[in-house]
Amino acid sequence: MKTIKKLLYALKDEKQKGVYFIHSDDEDVKFTSYHDLFKQSLWMKNYLYERGIRPNDEVILSTDNSEWFYITFWACILGNFKAAPLSVSSDNLDNLRGVLEVCYHAAIVTDNETLLQEIDKSDLKLKACICWDEGMSEKLNEVLIHTESEIDDSVVCCEENDMDTAYIQFSSGSTSDVKGVGITNAGVILIAEGFNIARHLCEKDVFVTWVPLYHNYGLFFNILLPINFGCDAHVIDTQYVIKNPLFYLEYCNRVKGTVLSSTNYYLKFICKLLQERGAEDYWDLSSINTIMLAAEPISMNLCNQFTEYLKDSKFQRIALNPAYGLTEGTFVVTLTTDDSCTRKITVNKESLSIGHPLEIVSDDDLLASEIISVGKPLPFFQLKILDLAGNTLEDGCIGLVFIAGKCVLNEYYNRGRDDNFVEEWFNTGDIGFMYEGNLYITARYKEMFIYNSLNYYDNDIEKYIEKLNIFDEERIVVHGYRKNVDDINDEVICFIEGKTPIETLVIKIKSVLSHINNDLGIYITDFVLVDHIPTTVSGKIQRYKLLKNYIKGEYDSQIAELTREIKRANNIMECDVSSIENFIVDTLEDIVDTQIDYSASFISMGLDSLQLSKLHMAINIQYGDCIAIAEIFEYTRIETLAEYIMEKIHMKRETETLIS
């Protein structure tokens, strides 16, 4: 019987391989062998025991220092203490308070002295509060200096079972209710075996990761998978990658990393930087065999862009590894294999209703929705798709995803079972379907809204808006909710994060309103400008927080400001053909070097497609999204184009009056 503790003992004499802790690109890299990590963790285990911590006590682990996290987590495994990784802010103890409601014998280990001061002033009760400071670091360094001294390994020795809870993973907040999942030894070992089956990992692999350790995604990739396969692990500080995203690829090139982790949001950010700056000429990323993409819906377009931008760096498309998982299933439930590229299908978004069969359409269909495969279920999972009445659905039908198996929790930590448990099955709360043996996830059940008797998904509307390429500098989140029980349609809110000047933002909002109203028949109740879109550590959007703040009225001033600006912009639209002609001439003088001939066509003036594109963009920014690029080739002279724009402005004004 394998356990995590036995994996650690198997590495206690390994001096060549270990963990590289990276804090910046200024050669600030520290290597610690698995042998040294084991010795330090053994000392830490004994220290925790001296502070009163006993087997099965919970140890809340809150530190951004990856090296200290590693040692403490290993110490908990060695001592049969239940590590509970958690990000706790000193100015908000709510999540800690929620965790303590289910952790009855909890201590906390942190390097945040301010946090400990706030805990001391609060009414929170902990078994011990341990501050990891420089003094403790010095003691651990002394452990390595005095190599001849042996550390007592008899302290806290007890039997363990493969179904024992090895550590506790708390939900990081895609829902408001904090729940703990007891991750078992069997779950961890089986998931590692699943990776081996799907991606053929081995001791020669080099893990390079940046996802925070206190998230299950980061914990598996930073610690659990490397120790299972006896691989080197390179752990880059999350904050440094956020500040310098391309460093991740730079470092992978440097150390010839083979196994990486990422999210859709990070991939999008990387693609934007690669588009602006390009890849470095000397990068050779051919060593990468796996980039796991998880924690949020994956975009095929982003996968294509990422591969295209890195083709000269010898990056292999087959390395992209969309996956699906959840903490209640230990980690991953499905994986794409290393011998099949990412798959996608395009379906009619109106067919994405629970209990309905798919309607596959072409990519250019007006109602097309692109959905990417997250792979096949790992062999030790059972998976089925059910309708709302609990009936099992056939392949190609949309429904709720249920899972069962040895890796699936039986109950929440010290909370028992809730409505998501149905006998041996667990309702993931995700909506999806099976198609040709692969799982496709469409949305969260709670992220669905009804409009004009049709079901829509928040992320589906977000993808539609993103395809318009109007909010190109902003991040958007759409959330629908039922305001009143008797309402026919749900309210639809669009939250916008960005630094765009409000005048430009209003133009973009009006353009999106026009598109979504004309194409989908949906009206967005409010656009809300927010300073920050809350997410979990893995990038999963916390929609409930945005909606909670919206309902409480915390965004009322921002909504009022946008409303005033929209009304003002509508009044400014008073113009005539002559003023539009002058605007076109002024724009052309900025675009071309030659003399402007009022009577000549744009082609006769020598304008190329790029210059015409700039003219098109300038017109739509000035007058709203009023013309298509193709119409510039139809109305080819200044006078005729100005008249057409005036006509379109009149039409838009009438539409906006109706919408208002």
Q: Write out pLDDT tens, residues 494-514.
A: 999 988 888 888 888 888 887
pLDDT, position 402? 98
What does pTM read for this prediction?
Answer: 0.73
Buried-exposed string 498-516: b where 16+ CB fall within 10 A, e elsewhere = bebebeebbbbbbbbbbbb
Domain coverage including residue 96: 34-159
Residue 189: inside a domain? no
pLDDT tens by residue, 306-337:
999 999 999 999 999 999 999 999 999 999 98
Of 64-73, 235-244, 516-525, 635-644, the poorest mean pLDDT is in: 516-525
Helix axes 502-520, 458-467, angle to 10 degrees: 110
The CATH number for 403's domain is 2.30.38.10
Q: How many residues does the chain have?
A: 660
pLDDT, position 174? 39
AA identity, residue 525: T
Residue identified by tokens 């193709």 is 630
Same-domain pairing of 493 and 473: yes
> Higher confidence at residue 240 or residue 220?
220
Residue 486: inside a domain? yes
pLDDT tens by residue, 99-149:
999 999 999 999 999 999 999 999 999 999 999 888 888 888 888 887 666
Sorted by sequence, the CB contacts under 8 Å of residue 377 that are 6+ apart come out as 333, 334, 383, 439
Same-domain pairing of 57 and 140: yes
AA identity, residue 590: D
pLDDT, position 387? 92
**What mean pLDDT comes out for the span 381-385?**
97
Say yes or no to pLDDT of 621 above 80: no
Same-domain pairing of 503 and 609: no
Domain end position, chosen among 402, 423, 446: 446
Say yes or no to pLDDT of 157 above 80: no
Residue 530: inside a domain? yes
Residue 634: inside a domain? yes
> Higher confidence at residue 520 or residue 414?
414
> Higher confidence at residue 651 or residue 425?
425
Say yes or no to pLDDT of 573 above 60: no
pLDDT tens by residue, 289-305:
999 988 667 778 888 89
Task: Please state whether beta strands 368-372 and 344-348 pair in parallel, antiparallel, or not at all (unpaired).
Answer: antiparallel
Say yes or no to pLDDT of 80 above 50: yes
The CATH number for 76's domain is 3.40.50.980
**What mean pLDDT comes out for the span 45-50?**
94
Domain end position, chosen among 126, 159, 192: 159
Residue 134: inside a domain? yes
Using CA atoms, how far residue 288 sits from 249, 278, 340, 582, in Å, is 10, 19, 15, 55
Say yes or no to pLDDT of 192 above 90: yes
**Integer Cα distance of 304 and 321 in angstroms:** 13
**Residue 176: pLDDT band by 50, 70, 90 thresholds?**
very low
Percent of the chain with pLDDT over 90: 45
Same-domain pairing of 435 and 463: no
The CATH number for 501's domain is 3.30.300.30
Tokens of 177: 């209710």
Residue identified by tokens 């150390």 is 255
Residue 494: inside a domain? yes
pLDDT, position 159? 67
Same-domain pairing of 60 and 148: yes
> Higher confidence at residue 534 or residue 486?
534
Sorted by sequence, the CB contacts under 8 Å of residue 579 that are 6+ apart come out as none
Say yes or no to pLDDT of 572 above 60: no
**What mean pLDDT comes out for the span 75-102?**
90
Identity of the highest mean pLDDT range in 2-16, 338-352, 521-535: 2-16
Strands (E) located in 197-238: 206-209, 232-236
Output the furthest CA–CA distance in the chain (Å, rounded). 94
Say yes or no to pLDDT of 492 above 80: yes
Same-domain pairing of 541 and 624: no
Using CA atoms, how far residue 640 sits from 67, 601, 610, 615, in Å, is 68, 10, 21, 15
Same-domain pairing of 558 and 581: no
Same-domain pairing of 146 and 43: yes
Identity of the highest mean pLDDT range in 378-382, 513-517, 560-564, 579-583: 378-382
> Higher confidence at residue 601 or residue 248?
248
**Integer Cα distance of 552 and 128 in angstroms:** 37
**Integer Cα distance of 514 and 527 in angstroms:** 14
Say yes or no to pLDDT of 453 above 90: no
Mean pLDDT of the chain: 85
Phi/psi at 350 (nearest 5 deg)?
-75, -10
Residue 606: inside a domain? yes
Same-domain pairing of 480 and 578: no
pLDDT tens by residue, 17-40:
999 999 877 678 999 999 999 999
Domain end position, chosen among 516, 545, 571: 571
Helices vs. strands in the chain: H and E counts, helices first: 21, 27
The CATH number for 613's domain is 1.10.1200.10
Tokens of 195: 């990776």
Same-domain pairing of 437 and 367: yes
- Burial category of 65 from C-beta neighbours within 10 Å (exposed 0-12, middle 13-18, buried 19 and up): middle
CB 308 within 8 A of CB 338: no
Query: How many structural domains compose the chain?
Result: 4
**Residue 651: pLDDT band by 50, 70, 90 thresholds?**
confident
β-strand partners of 432:
399, 441
> Higher confidence at residue 590 or residue 373?
373
Same-domain pairing of 436 and 371: yes
> Higher confidence at residue 531 or residue 450?
531
β-strand partners of 443:
431
**Residue 608: pLDDT band by 50, 70, 90 thresholds?**
low
**Residue 659: pLDDT band by 50, 70, 90 thresholds?**
very low
**Integer Cα distance of 271 and 299 in angstroms:** 12
**Residue 548: pLDDT band by 50, 70, 90 thresholds?**
confident
Of 52-56, 583-587, 642-646, 650-654, the poorest mean pLDDT is in: 650-654
Residue 146: inside a domain? yes
Tokens of 517: 């109203």
**What mean pLDDT comes out for the span 201-214?**
92
Say yes or no to pLDDT of 285 above 50: yes
Same-domain pairing of 435 and 356: yes
Q: Comparing C-alpha atoms, which of 533, 530, 475 is closest to residue 508?
A: 475
